[in-house]
């Protein structure tokens, strides 16, 4: 589905740092410690598609997701929604935004209230959307149908449902708000592989039938490879490669994406070469490319140069000195 009127959302140099807890000695010496979870992310989210955001645990995916849905304020940068900066929204406009951008979480145990029956959970969501009394029950039934569940589940409590059913309820509750963007943060990571496929297919179905734009977040490249129209690969708070799946998955240019792909055991075609990343001790990489200490292609210049995304072909971008070299050798 192609968009009219530009992207749904534009992320502009988004950054988020967390302040870490300090030891007594650090407090006495006035030392502050911070961790930069998202470190300058810029890209457009096209309308009507499924964007996959992938990267290993701790690379900043959830932090980025929480900024997108408005749960966390960026330390720097801006999110534009239909061309308007989120930081400029106030009151009603902010509420409209928060309703229009919904999130689905990995952990359905903590995201659904264990003391409420499914009927109550869904009714509350529908009421929050402002439906009239007579419209509530039909809408709850409609939502259940949209996520492929039977009305007999309505009288159960969340713990009486399977993990897959609970995740469907989480999705139905988000849909109750009639969002235009759904951010699904590791929605299938706690499910068996067979159930994972069903939930991923449901997301694709909702994307197609409702025209819902979806950001699908996973640490598992095989999950995003199945349904996404666009894939963004994150490493250490930055997007290192971005593009359509046929580019990112079959012709990756960033050494990190190449290593991720080599780690996928099934479901994707195995590649000829085996690449791995080098092990690295924890800690910040001072200056230069964030990946360089784990990169098998690292060059001395990678220490001075923090690469930005640049074109690696049509609908394909990567942040790597190798790409820049190629572009300089044969300018497009
Ligand atoms: N509330 C927080 N306080 C301090 N550090 C945090 C907080 N949330 C996340 N972090 C740190 O930020 C980095 C990115 O975390 P996160 O966004 O959860 O990554 P991901 O979702 O990709 O696993 C990690 O180093 C994590 O430890
Ligand atoms: Mg996360």
Q: Where are the domains of the chain?
A: 9-243, 250-332
Q: Whose CA is nearest to atom 16 of ligand 1?
A: 60
Superfamily of domain covering 9-243: P-loop containing nucleotide triphosphate hydrolases (3.40.50.300)
Give the residue, out of 34, 37, 54, with the most ligand 1 atoms within 8 A of its beta carbon, to mutate for a pocket test: 37
In which region does residue 295 sit, left (phi positive, over 0), alpha (psi from -120 to 50) or beta (all else)? Answer: beta
Going by their DSSP bridges, the two strands 316-318 and 101-104 should be labelled as unpaired
Q: Using a 6 Å cutoff on CB, does residue 16 contact ligand 1? A: no
Q: Using a 6 Å cutoff on CB, does residue 15 contact ligand 1? A: no
Q: Ligand 2 centre from 234 Cα, in Å?
A: 12
Q: Using a 6 Å cutoff on CB, does residue 179 contact ligand 1? A: no
Nearest ligand to the CA atom of 57: 1
Closest by alpha carbon to 104, among 218, 5, 198? 218
Each residue's pLDDT expressed in tens, for the chain with a length of 332 residues? 444 568 999 999 999 999 888 888 888 888 878 889 999 999 999 999 999 999 999 999 999 999 999 999 999 999 999 889 999 998 899 999 999 999 999 887 788 999 999 999 999 999 999 999 999 999 999 999 999 999 999 999 999 999 999 999 999 999 999 999 999 999 999 898 889 999 999 999 999 999 999 999 999 998 899 899 999 999 999 999 999 999 999 999 999 999 988 876 644 444 444 455 555 544 555 688 999 988 999 999 999 988 999 999 999 999 999 998 888 887 65
Q: Ligand 1 centre from 328 Cα, in Å?
A: 36
Give the residue, out of 16, 60, 238, with the most ligand 1 atoms within 8 A of its beta carbon, to mutate for a pocket test: 60
Residues 6+ apart with CB under 8 A from 113: 121, 158
CA distance 4 to 200: 26
Separation in Å, CA 144 to CA 105, 151, 168, 177: 18, 7, 8, 14
């Amino acid at each position: 589905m192609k968009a009219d009127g530009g992207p749904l959302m534009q992320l502009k140099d988004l950054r988020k740092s967390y302040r870490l807890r300090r030891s007594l000695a650090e407090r006495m010496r006035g030392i502050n410690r911070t961790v930069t979870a998202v470190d300058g992310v810029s890209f457009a989210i096209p309308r009507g598609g499924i964007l996959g955001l992938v990267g290993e645990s701790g690379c900043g995916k959830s932090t980025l997701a929480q900024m997108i849905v408005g749960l966390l304020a960026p330390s720097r940068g801006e999110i534009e929604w239909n061309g308007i900066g989120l930081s400029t929204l106030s009151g009603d406009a902010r509420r409209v935004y928060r309703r229009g951008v919904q999130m689905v979480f990995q952990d359905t145990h903590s995201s659904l209230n264990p003391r409420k029956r499914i009927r109550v959970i869904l009714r509350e969501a529908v009421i929050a959307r402002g439906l009239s009394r007579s419209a509530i029950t039909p809408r709850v039934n409609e939502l259940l149908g949209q996520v492929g569940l039977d009305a007999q589940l309505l009288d159960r409590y969340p713990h009486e449902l399977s993990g897959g059913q609970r995740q469907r309820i989480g999705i139905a509750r988000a849909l109750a708000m009639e969002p235009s963007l759904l951010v699904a943060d590791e929605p299938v990571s706690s499910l068996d592989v067979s159930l994972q496929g069903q939930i991923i297919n449901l997301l694709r179905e909702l994307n197609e039938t409702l025209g819902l734009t979806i950001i699908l977040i996973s640490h598992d490249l095989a999950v995003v490879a199945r349904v996404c129209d666009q894939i963004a690969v994150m490493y250490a708070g930055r997007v290192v490669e971005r593009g359509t799946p046929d580019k990112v998955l079959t012709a990756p240019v960033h050494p990190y994406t190449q290593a991720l792909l080599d780690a996928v055991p099934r479901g994707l075609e195995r590649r000829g070469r085996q690449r791995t990343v080098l092990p690295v001790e924890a800690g910040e990489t001072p200056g230069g490319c964030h990946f360089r200490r784990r990169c098998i292609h690292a060059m001395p210049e990678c220490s001075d140069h923090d690469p930005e995304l640049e074109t690696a072909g049509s609908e394909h971008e990567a942040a790597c000195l190798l790409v820049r070299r190629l572009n300089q050798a044969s300018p497009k």
